[in-house]
Amino acid sequence: GEDVEQSLFLSVREGDSSVINCTYTDSSSTYLYWYKQEPGAGLQLLTYIFSNMDMKQDQRLTVLLNKKDKHLSLRIADTQTGDSAIYFCAESLSGGYQKVTFGIGTKLQVIP
Amino acid sequence: GAGVSQSPSNKVTEKGKDVELRCDPISGHTALYWYRQSLGQGLEFLIYFQGNSAPDKSGLPSDRFSAERTGGSVSTLTIQRTQQEDSAVYLCASSLALGGETQYFGPGTRLLVL
């Protein structure tokens, strides 16, 4: 079955780059997502990447996908205190049914 | 509406009582999902609706959990005879079914069972 794994915690200094890593098990995953959850709030889609891509950049965010190793990463450049949140990696399979499997989430702490 | 809304935002109930959680998806989104987020856990898929039908109920943790969707819009998740382990944040998401790879989440309902 599907499984998504992430490290639980990451601490970085303001202004540095953050890299949050994720591994998944299902090679037929079509879409891979990064969601952000701020304290007391719901999930917000940050970005997603199709499995036929290996990189996607959106302002300060860079997503890298290594399909061979089933490894996904999210790089946040010039990390700000407002980036402190829990970041969820997620995958969904191809087909009309969009069940999404989430990782446990990585808590990013940005130190001023 | 502009986004997915859920009500109530917080619910405290006594063990053994029934609760109903409501989700209003984004207008026009035909797919609707319920997830549960327990303390220290990732998101657990509960159930998915395509229109008013739920082709996959495999994620519901027990027969105390049920969900329905009427008119292809609002959905209600009902938990009967609540237990303390049901305490969690219940998140609803919706997406466009056709090419709708992106799910948009509501703020969640925080359920506490005493």
**Interval A2-11: pLDDT, tens:** 689 998 899 9
Question: What confidence score (pLDDT) does residue A74 get?
Answer: 97
For residue A81, the 8-state DSSP code is: G
| Alpha-carbon distance values, A106 to A31, A35, A58 (Å) | 19, 10, 20
B33/A97 Cβ within 8 A: no
Q: How far is A69 from chain B (nearest CA, A)?
A: 22
- Alpha carbon distance A8, B72 (integer Å): 37
Low-confidence ranges of chain B (pLDDT < 50): 98-99
| A28 pLDDT above the threshold of 90 | no
Give the pLDDT mean for A7-25. Answer: 95
Residue from B32, B49, B60, B103 whose CB has the most chain A CBs within 10 Å, to mutate: B103
- E strands present in chain B: 5-7, 10-13, 19-24, 31-37, 43-50, 53-56, 65-69, 75-79, 88-95, 104-105, 109-113
> pLDDT band at residue A96, thresholds of 50, 70 and 90?
very low
pLDDT in tens, A31-53: 888 999 988 777 888 998 888 88
Between residues B97 and A55, which one has the greater pLDDT? A55
Number of Cβ atoms within 10 Å of the Cβ of A41: 13
Q: Is A106 in the B-facing interface, judged by CB distances under 8 Å? A: no
- Asked if pLDDT for residue A21 goes beyond 70, the answer is yes
Residues of B in contact with A101 (CB under 8 A): 45
Give the C-alpha distances (Å, rounded to integers) separating B84 from B16, B41, B59: 9, 16, 19
CA distance B98 to chain A (A): 7
What confidence score (pLDDT) does residue B83 get?
97
SS3 A54: coil
pLDDT number for residue B65: 97
Mean pLDDT of the A75-82 span: 96
Mean pLDDT over all residues of chain A? 89
Residue B1 pLDDT: 52
Higher local confidence (pLDDT), B44 or A75:
A75
**What is the predicted pLDDT for the residue at A95?**
47
The nearest CA of chain B is from the CA of A86 a distance in Å of 11
Q: Kindly state the tokens that stand for B59.
A: 């994620």
Element (H, E) at A61: strand A61-66
Q: Which pLDDT score, from 0 to 100, does residue B101 have?
A: 62
Q: List CB contacts (< 8 A) between B31 and chain A.
A: 98
- The CA distance from B3 to A49, in Å, is 22
CB contact under 8 A, A43 and B105: yes
